């Protein structure tokens, strides 16, 4: 295995192991402080723990068995590296992550009596489910147009969350506003990245394929191909285009997921720190 590829893979595995340890430590700490929890925030925290666990473990699995889906490339020669297995794990993990944000937004929206925020929260998971279907279409047919749609939906969901936070912000107490501002700013950076870098990249790949009249697989053909074919490659050149997004995805995104475990307690069951109407100055 090329040294650069091996080093990158070791880094992914090391970060994922650290993430699992941090998640476990967070859960242990929360359990030790169980008596201090408000009943509502305790229930919300338990839900966040469950959803975060799904995402953390899913990303750890994908770090141990990296797969470049459309090219059917992997680092480990095993059925565990098949595109079907990897994509299935990714689908469950990403739905868990989306549900974390939707669950948090719903709680904050209810506490601030924001019907717009509640409506946005109800849309997040269904929209991401559609994005996952688009991803499956891309993976099975090898057509990047599916990824164009998938990443566009993710970007739109992030924009929806940012808009909801901006609407809720004036209704929250001054203690909560800095956290909402930081979340909104990071979300804005994510949206810019998606529509300035990620979506255009997949669009360019799709246009190039169409220009070259590249043949695509049918869904049935793709299902058979993705289930039984994986190509082991340790060449850095084969993985270089995937390194940045995979590295950020399996690290920074996971840290956000773990951070959301603590959000319900920080927000005081979405109540104690929420300003009374007319007292938002």
Residue 6 reports pLDDT greater than 90: yes
pLDDT tens-place string over residues 209-263: 999 999 999 999 999 999 999 999 999 999 998 999 999 999 999 999 999 998 7
Residue 123 within a domain: yes
Torsion angle, CA of 99/104/109/112, rounded to 10 degrees? 170
Whether residue 76 contacts residue 215, with contact meaning beta carbons closer than 8 Å, is answered with no
Q: Which pTM was predicted? A: 0.89
Residue 263 in contact with residue 30, Cβ under 8 Å?
no
Q: Residue 228: inside a domain, yes or no? A: yes
What is the model's pLDDT at position 277? Answer: 37
The answer, yes or no, to whether residue 208 has pLDDT greater than 80, is: yes
Question: Where in the sequence is the domain holding 88, given as residue range(s)?
Answer: 3-266
> Does 272 reside within a domain?
no
Q: pLDDT tens digits for 180-204?
A: 888 889 889 999 999 999 999 999 9
In a domain, 127, yes or no: yes
Residue 36 in this model has a pLDDT that exceeds 90: no
Total domain count, the chain: 1
3-state SS, one letter per residue, for 158-210: HHHHHHHHHHHHHHCCCCCHHHHHHHHHHHHHHHHHHHHHHHHHHHHHHHHHH
> In this structure, how many other beta carbons lie within 10 angstroms of the beta carbon of residue 54?
20
Instruction: Please indicate, yes or no, if residue 273 is contained in any of the structural domains.
Output: no
Is position 7 within any domain? Answer: yes
Instruction: Give the number of other Cβ atoms within 10 Å of residue 256's Cβ.
Output: 16
Q: Express each pLDDT in 42-66 by its tens digit.
A: 778 889 999 999 999 999 999 999 9
Q: What's residue 281's pLDDT?
A: 31
State residue 79's pLDDT score.
Answer: 93
In a domain, 243, yes or no: yes
In a domain, 275, yes or no: no
Cα 166 to chain centroid, rounded:
21
Whether residue 174 has pLDDT greater than 90: no
State pLDDT tens for residues 114-125: 888 899 999 999
Residue 2 has a pLDDT of: 65
């Amino acid at each position: 295995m090329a040294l650069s590829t091996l080093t990158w893979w070791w880094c992914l595995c090391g970060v994922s192991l650290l993430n699992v340890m941090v998640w476990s430590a967070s859960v242990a700490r929360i359990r030790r402080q169980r008596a201090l929890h408000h009943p509502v925030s305790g229930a919300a925290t338990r839900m966040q723990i469950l959803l975060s666990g799904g995402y953390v473990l899913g990303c750890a699995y994908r770090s141990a068995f990296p797969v470049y889906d459309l090219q059917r490339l992997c680092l480990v020669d095993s059925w565990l590296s098949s595109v079907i297995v990897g994509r299935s794990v990714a689908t469950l993990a990403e739905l868990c992550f989306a549900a974390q944000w939707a669950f948090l937004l719903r709680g904050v929206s209810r506490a601030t009596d924001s019907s717009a925020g509640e409506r946005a929260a109800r849309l997040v998971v269904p929209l991401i489910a559609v994005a996952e279907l688009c991803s499956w279409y891309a993976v099975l047919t090898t057509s990047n147009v599916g990824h164009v749609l998938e990443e566009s939906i993710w970007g739109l969901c992030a924009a929806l969350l940012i808009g909801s936070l901006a609407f809720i912000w004036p209704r929250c107490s001054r203690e909560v506003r800095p956290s909402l501002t930081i979340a909104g700013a990071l979300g804005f950076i994510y949206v810019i990245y998606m529509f300035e870098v990620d979506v255009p990249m997949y669009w360019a790949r799709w246009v190039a394929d169409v220009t070259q009249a590249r043949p695509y697989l049918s869904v049935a053909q793709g299902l058979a191909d993705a289930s039984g074919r994986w190509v082991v490659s340790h060449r850095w050149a084969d993985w270089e285009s995937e390194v940045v997004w995979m590295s950020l995805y399996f690290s920074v995104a996971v840290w956000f997921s773990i951070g959301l475990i603590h959000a319900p307690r920080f927000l005081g069951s979405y109540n104690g720190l929420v300003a009374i109407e007319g007292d938002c100055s």
